[in-house]
Structure 1
Amino acid sequence: MLELSKINVFYGGIHALKDLSIKVNQGEIVTLVGSNGAGKTSMLKTISGIVKPKSGTINYLEKHITNCSASEIVKMGIAHVPEGRRVFGNMTVMENLEMGAFIRKDKSEIKEDYEKIFQSFARLKERRNQMAGTLSGGEQQMLAMGRALMLRPKLILLDEPSMGLAPIMVDEIFSIIKEINESGTTVLLVEQNANMALSIAHRAYVIQNGNIALEGKAGDLLKDESVKNTYLGG
């Protein structure tokens, strides 16, 4: 479904991604784990067209999308939930969800999808007329995910969805990620909580200093001693 091949990204003199190659198959949850500054967020921004690579190729559904704009990539069915939620704080929950559907024309089906979002995220239904900026961190994360799902994406990119959340909310968010995948959406998950990420993913990559250091089945990496010692607290 998605393949990055030998991607190189620079920020001025900083070489953020170094010949990075990964593959995501349709229907999978693929997770990328690594420490802060390893290049995880840069990779997602490169896929969604926010950052342009200096070299390398990105193919999505057999199309070459390396030089496509962010708006073109959204129209192809790739939704990006950025680190830090980035909800529209001065707009209501409902208005945020409407923004997620802004490129869609199928009004009756959009209404159906609002109800699906409210079934998955019951708290959002209770707060549909509340300003998004007044929601808790966990509720904002739910809203950011719900807004992305209003696109009806084929592929959803999730950047640190558990960051700053209470443990009970982390469990809820990861349950929802599994539900999203089981309903037919492919998931590429960037996450510092390696234990949780590897427990729900099909496959995983470990990134260090902009390079892929390890890859394999998520269950195998969960048992790998080097991964345990570095990312899972031994």
Structure 2
Amino acid sequence: MLKVDNLNLFYGGIHALRDISIEVEQGQIVTLIGANGAGKTSTLRAISGLEPIKSGEVTFKNEPLSKVPANKIVSKGLSHVPEGRRVFANLTVMENLELGAYLRKDKKGIKDDYEMVFDKFPRLKERMKQAAGTLSGGEQQMLAIGRALMVRPELLLMDEPSMGLAPIVVQGIFSIIQEINKSGTTVLLVEQNAHMALSIAHKAYVLETGSITMEGNPKDLLNDDSIRSAYLGE
């Protein structure tokens, strides 16, 4: 479904991504783990067209994306939940969700999807008319995911969904990610909480200073001594 081939990305003179190659098959949860500054967010931003790549190719459903502008990429069925939530603080919960559906014209489908989001996140329904900036961190994360789901994406890119959230909230968010995946949406998940990410993924990549250093079955990586010591605090 998604193929990233020998991707290179620079910030000025800094070589941020070095020959990154990853593959995401339809129906999977694929996770990219790594330390702060490893290049995880840059990889997602390159895929969704938010950062210009120097060389390499991103292909989604057999179509090259490298020359496609970010706003057109969304219409192809790819949605991005950014790091730090990035909800529109001055707009209400409902207005944020409406913005997620701005490309769509199917009124009944949009209405059904509002209900789907409220079904997954009942707390958002209770706060429909509340300004997004007044929500808790966990509620803002739910809203960011809900807004991305309003695109009705085939592939959901998720950047650090657990960041800054209490452990009990993190459990709930990860359950929702699994639920979204089971209902047919493929997920590429970037996450610092390596244990949680590896526990729900079908496939995993380890990113270190802009390069992929390991890939494979998440259960194998969970049992790998170097991964346990570097990312699981063991």
Per the normalisation by structure 2, the TM-score is 0.99
Q: Paired residue for 1:215?
A: 215
- Superimposed CA distance per residue, residues 122-170 of structure 1 (whole angstroms, 9 cap, x where no aligned partner): 1000000100000000000000000000000000000000000001000
Give, in whole Å, the separation in 2 of the partners of 1:60 and 1:52: 16
**1:144 pairs with 2:144:** yes
Give, in whole Å, the separation in 2 of the partners of 1:204 and 1:66: 23
Gaps of 5+ in 1: none
One-letter code aligned to 1:229: S
Gaps of 5+ in 2: none
Q: Paired residue for 1:177?
A: 177
Q: Paired residue for 1:83?
A: 83
Q: Paired residue for 2:43?
A: 43
Deviation of 1:72 after TM superposition, in Å, equals 1.0
- Superimposed CA distance per residue, residues 146-205 of structure 1 (whole angstroms, 9 cap, x where no aligned partner): 000000000000000000000100000000000000000000000000000000000000
3-state SS in 2 of match to 1:163: coil
Q: Paired residue for 1:21?
A: 21
Give, in whole Å, the separation in 2 of the partners of 1:101 and 1:222: 38
Q: Paired residue for 1:163?
A: 163
One-letter code aligned to 2:159: D
Give, in whole Å, the separation in 1 of the partners of 2:64 and 2:130: 41
One-letter code aligned to 1:128: M
Deviation of 1:89 after TM superposition, in Å, equals 0.4
Deviation of 1:52 after TM superposition, in Å, equals 1.1
Moved over 3 A (4+): none
Give, in whole Å, the separation in 1 of the partners of 2:35 and 2:131: 33
3-state SS in 2 of match to 1:169: helix
**1:56 pairs with 2:60:** no
Deviation of 1:104 after TM superposition, in Å, equals 0.2
3-state SS in 2 of match to 1:91: coil
- Superimposed CA distance per residue, residues 11-45 of structure 1 (whole angstroms, 9 cap, x where no aligned partner): 00100000010000000000000000000000000
Give, in whole Å, the separation in 2 of the partners of 1:24 and 1:53: 19
Q: Paired residue for 1:104?
A: 104
3-state SS in 2 of match to 1:18: strand
**1:93 pairs with 2:93:** yes
One-letter code aligned to 1:150: M
Give, in whole Å, the separation in 2 of the partners of 1:163 and 1:124: 19
The alignment covers a number of residue pairs equal to: 234
Q: Paired residue for 1:34?
A: 34
One-letter code aligned to 2:154: K
Give, in whole Å, the separation in 1 of the partners of 2:221 and 2:135: 36
Deviation of 1:219 after TM superposition, in Å, equals 1.1
Give, in whole Å, the separation in 2 of the partners of 1:82 and 1:64: 22
Per the normalisation by structure 1, the TM-score is 0.99
One-letter code aligned to 2:192: Q
Give, in whole Å, the separation in 1 of the partners of 2:193 and 2:169: 13
**1:200 pairs with 2:200:** yes
Give, in whole Å, the separation in 2 of the partners of 1:4 and 1:66: 10
